[in-house]
Amino acid sequence: MDFSHTAEDIAFRDELREWLDENLPKFLADWGGDEDPGGGRQAGIARTQQRRQDWQRRLNQGRWAAINWPKTWGGREATPVQNVIYSEEMARARTPGIYNANGIWQIGPMIIRWGTREQQDRWLPAILSADEHWCQGFSEPEAGSDLANLRCSATRDGDEYVLEGRKIWISTAHIAQWGLFLVRTDPTAIQRKAKHEGITALVVDMRVPGIECQPLRDITGDAMFNEVTFTGARVPTSYRLGEEGQGWQVAMGTLGHERVGTSGLSITLATELERLIATTRKHNPAALDDPSIKDRLARAWTQINLTRLLNYRALSKVLKGEKTWPEVPLAKLQWSSLSQTLAELGCDMLGPAGILTRGGPDAVDNGHWTHQYCWQRYTSIGAGTTEVQKNILADRAIQLPRN
C-alpha cells in the first residue's frame, strides 16, 4: 500500500498547521496551558469543560471541529488518510480535547446517516457549535459487554415512548442536554432468544421529568460517569433515530465510529512517549541510565510503531472499501495496553515527583502521570472490553478450538 500523500493531503496538512500556528497560541494565552490549574476538583472539571467548549467553537469557525461531516454541515468530508494527518498534527501540537466528542465523532454521524432532515436541522448545528452537550447511553447493569442484553424499556403511548429502567457508566450524562440511548421496545425478544431484535435508538432530552443522573466517582476522584435512571420519562416518537426495532443497526454504526476512532488514538501515543522522556530528562534524568528503563522504553517505542503500521493496514482496507477486520479490534487492544504501559512508565521514571497529584506546587506536569496511572485502567473496558475482544479474536480471527 502506497501511503504517499497526494497534493490534496499535503494541502490539507499545510492548512491545518497554518491554522493551528495562528489560533492555538491565542487560545493558550486566553486560557493558560493546563486544563486543570487547581482550585478544587469540581472547579477544575467545570473550567476544563468551559475551556474545551471554547476550543471546539474556535475549531468550528475554521471548519476543523468535524472533519468527517459533509461540507454542507460544516465538515470537510476528510479521507481516511486525512484523518490520520489530522490526528498526527493535533498530537504534535498537543491541542486540548473538545467539548462534544461523543456528538462530533459518534452521534452526529449517526444523525446524518439515520436522521430525518428535521432531526438533522434540530440537532446537528448545536452539536457542531458546542452549544449543546451530548451523551451516549448504551451500557446497563446487566448489559455491558453483552450489549444486546439491555432491558431498559420504552413503551409506546400514542405519540410518545415511556422510559423505565437504568443505564450505567454514561459519560457526562449529568452535564448533557441530549443523549442517544438504546432501549428495548419489544420485551419478548430476550425470551425468544432474539435479543438483538426489538431494540430502538431514541434521542432523549435529558432535562425532562423522570430522568435522574447520579454521578459515579472514579478512582481518580473525578465524577464524569453516571448512573441514569428513567422513571416514566416521556420521549416523543419523533425523536426516534431510524425505525422502531432498528436500534442494533444504529448502535453498530455508532460503535464502529467509536472503535475506529479509538484505534486511531494510538497515533497520539508516540507524542506521549516523547513527552515522558523530555519530562524525565528535566526532573529525574538518572532514570534514563537504568538498563531496565531503557529496555521498557525500547519495547514501548517498538509497540507504538507496530500499532501505527497496524492502523495503516486498517486504513488500506478502508481505502479499498473492505472490512477493517481484525485490524481495528487488534489496534484497540494495542491502544489499551500501551496507554497503561506509558502511564506505569511515567510513574516509575519520574520517581516520587511523578506520583504527586494535581494542585500541588511540586506536581510534575500538574499531576498528569499519576492521574494517567489510575485513569488509563478504563481502556480495558472502554470501546470494547479487553477480555471480550480477545475472545472474539480467538474465535473468529485465529479460530482457536473451543474446549
Question: Mean pLDDT throughout 144-161?
Answer: 92
The residues assigned a catalytic role are: 258
Q: 236-274, pLDDT tens digit by residue?
A: 999 999 999 999 988 876 555 444 555 456 678 888 999
Instruction: Identify whether the C-beta of residue 269 lies closer than 8 Å to the C-beta of residue 335.
Output: yes
Q: Where are the alpha helices (DSSP H) in 76-148?
A: 80-93, 101, 108-114, 117-129
Q: 300-349, pLDDT tens digit by residue?
A: 999 998 888 888 787 777 667 777 788 878 888 888 999 999 999 999 99
Please state whether beta strands 211-216 and 153-157 pair in parallel, antiparallel, or not at all (unpaired).
unpaired
- Closest to 118 in 3D by CA, of 209, 237, 246, 206: 237
Q: Cell match 495503516: residue?
A: 312
Q: What is the pTM of this model?
A: 0.85
CB atoms within 10 A of CB 292: 9
Q: 283-302, pLDDT tens digit by residue?
A: 999 999 999 999 999 999 99
Cα–Cα distance list, 208 to 60, 160, 213, 241, 390 (Å): 29, 13, 12, 18, 40
Domain 251-397 in this protein, CATH class: mainly alpha
pLDDT at residue 86 is higher than 80? yes
pLDDT at residue 399 is higher than 60? yes
> What is the CATH architecture of 7-129?
Orthogonal Bundle (1.10)
Give domain limits for the chain: 7-129, 134-245, 251-397
Query: How far apart (Å, rounded) are the C-alpha atoms in residues 239 and 35?
Result: 35
Hey, which residues does 181 pair with through a beta bridge? 137, 202
Provide the CATH number for the domain formed by 134-245 in this structure: 2.40.110.10
Q: Which uninterrupted H or E stretch holds 8?
A: helix 7-31
